Amino acid sequence: MDAGLLVYWWPAIPVPGDVMKKVQFQSRWVPYMLLLPQLAIVTIFFLWPAAEAVQSSFYLEDPFGFGSTFVGFENFTDMLTSSDYGRVARFTGVFTTLVTFLSLGIALLLAVKADKVLRGSSTYKTLLMWVYAVAPPVAGLIGVLLFDQHVGPLVDFFAMFGWKMQIGVNYFDTSFAMVSTAVWKQIPVNFIFFLSGLQGISKSVQEAASIDCRSGMRRFWTVTFPLLAPTGFFLLIINITYAFFDTFGIIDVIVKNEPGNNPVTLVYKVYLDGFRGNDLGGSSAQSVILMAMVFILTIIQFRLIERRVHYT
Partner 1 sequence: MYKLKIWDHLILLAGVFFMVAPVAITFFTSTHDAITIYKEGVQFAPGGKFLENYETVLFQAGGFTKEVDGFVMLKNSMILGFGFAIGKIVISMLAAYAIVYFRFPMASLCFWVIFATLLLPLEVRILPSYEIVQSLGMVNTYSGLIIPLIASATGTFFFRQFFMSVPDELLEAARIDGAGPWKFFKDILVPLSKTMIAAIFIIMFVYGWNQYLWPTLITTDESLFTLVRGIKQILQVWVGAQIPAFNEAMALAILAMLPPVLIVVIFQSWFVKGLVESDK
Pick the binder of partner 1 from 201, 232, 298, 300 (CB under 8 A): 298
Contacts with 282 (C-beta within 8 Å, 6 or more apart), sequence order: 75, 78, 79, 273
The alpha carbon of residue 191 and the mean position of all alpha carbons in its chain are separated, in whole angstroms, by 15
Q: Is 99 in the site for partner 1 (CB under 8 A)?
A: no
Q: Is 137 in the site for partner 1 (CB under 8 A)?
A: yes
Residue pair 172/98 in contact by the 8 Å Cβ criterion: no
Distance (Å, rounded) from C-alpha 58 to C-alpha 98? 34
Distance (Å, rounded) from C-alpha 135 to C-alpha 139? 6
The stretch near partner 1 (CB under 8 A) out of 77-85, 90-98, 124-132, 204-212 is: 124-132
Distance (Å, rounded) from C-alpha 292 to C-alpha 298? 10
Q: Which is nearer to partner 1, 85 or 271 (CB)?
A: 271
Q: H-helix or E-strand containing 55?
A: helix 48-56
Considering only residues 37 through 76, tell me which ones interact with partner 1, judged by CB under 8 A.
37-39, 41-50, 52-53, 56
Q: Which is nearer to partner 1, 113 or 303 (CB)?
A: 113
CB of 9 to partner 1, least distance (A): 4
Pick the binder of partner 1 from 86, 93, 105, 216 (CB under 8 A): 216
The stretch near partner 1 (CB under 8 A) out of 91-99, 157-165, 206-214, 293-301 is: 293-301
Q: Which is nearer to partner 1, 6 or 88 (CB)?
A: 6
Distance (Å, rounded) from C-alpha 279 to C-alpha 264? 17
Considering only residues 264 through 283, tell me which ones interact with partner 1, judged by CB under 8 A.
267, 270-271, 274-275, 280, 283
Q: Is 309 in the site for partner 1 (CB under 8 A)?
A: no
Q: Is 311 in the site for partner 1 (CB under 8 A)?
A: no
Distance (Å, rounded) from C-alpha 99 to C-alpha 182? 7
* Count of residues that bind partner 1 according to CB under 8 A: 111
Q: Is 259 in the site for partner 1 (CB under 8 A)?
A: no
The stretch near partner 1 (CB under 8 A) out of 66-74, 159-167, 171-179, 184-192 is: 184-192
Distance (Å, rounded) from C-alpha 83 to C-alpha 224? 45
Q: Is 211 in the site for partner 1 (CB under 8 A)?
A: no
Q: Is 228 in the site for partner 1 (CB under 8 A)?
A: no
Q: Is 130 in the site for partner 1 (CB under 8 A)?
A: yes
The phi-psi region of residue 278 (left if phi > 0; otherwise alpha if psi is between -120 and 50; otherwise beta) is left
The stretch near partner 1 (CB under 8 A) out of 73-81, 96-104, 159-167, 247-255 is: 247-255
The phi-psi region of residue 26 (left if phi > 0; otherwise alpha if psi is between -120 and 50; otherwise beta) is beta
Contacts with 74 (C-beta within 8 Å, 6 or more apart), sequence order: 60
Pick the binder of partner 1 from 68, 78, 132, 259 (CB under 8 A): 132
List Cα–Cα distances, 207 to 107, 119, 210, 233, in angstroms: 24, 20, 5, 26
Q: Is 234 in the site for partner 1 (CB under 8 A)?
A: yes
